């Protein structure tokens, strides 16, 4: 019933910036957490950044100080601003929306490719 549509991926040079967005097809009142995950070839999926309904954020150690997660509740959208990109940031990025208490609510975007290369 709920779809998450991601956009903003692409090819950038090391040190460059990129902004990802993820829009929900409708307002999801049952959701209290939204986050961005990534998966690189040969590696497991990892949480990059997350934000709770209360505005509390958390980041993977590897992206702290470089990435920023934010939401626009009026637009049912979550963003990931990525600065000072490194080749090791190359991965498919997925947005996720869930309820931290009930596993009945867990939605995923289709994924968007981010490639950092010179």
pLDDT at 33 over 80: yes
Arithmetic mean of pLDDT, 93-116: 93
Model pLDDT for residues 42-64, shown as the tens digit of each residue: 999 999 999 998 999 999 999 99
What value does the mean pLDDT of the chain take? Answer: 94
DSSP conformation letters of 66-108: TEEEEEEGGGTEEEEEE-S--GGG-EEEEEEEE-SS-TT-EEE
pLDDT at 27 over 80: no
Arithmetic mean of pLDDT, 109-117: 97
Per the CB < 8 A criterion, the answer to whether 81 and 49 are in contact is no
Closest CA to 97 of 53, 63, 42: 53
pLDDT at 29 over 80: no
């Amino acid at each position: 019933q709920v779809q998450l549509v991601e956009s903003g991926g692409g090819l950038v040079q090391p040190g460059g910036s990129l902004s990802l967005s993820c829009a929900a097809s409708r307002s999801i009142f049952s959701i209290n957490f939204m986050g961005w995950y990534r998966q690189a070839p040969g590696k497991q999926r990892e949480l990059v950044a997350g934000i709770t309904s209360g505005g509390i954020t958390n980041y993977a150690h590897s992206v702290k100080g470089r990435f920023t997660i934010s939401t626009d509740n009026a637009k049912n959208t979550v963003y990931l601003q990525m600065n000072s990109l490194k080749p090791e940031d190359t991965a498919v990025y997925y947005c996720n929306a869930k309820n931290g208490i009930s596993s009945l609510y867990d939605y995923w975007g289709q994924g968007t490719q981010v490639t950092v290369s010179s």
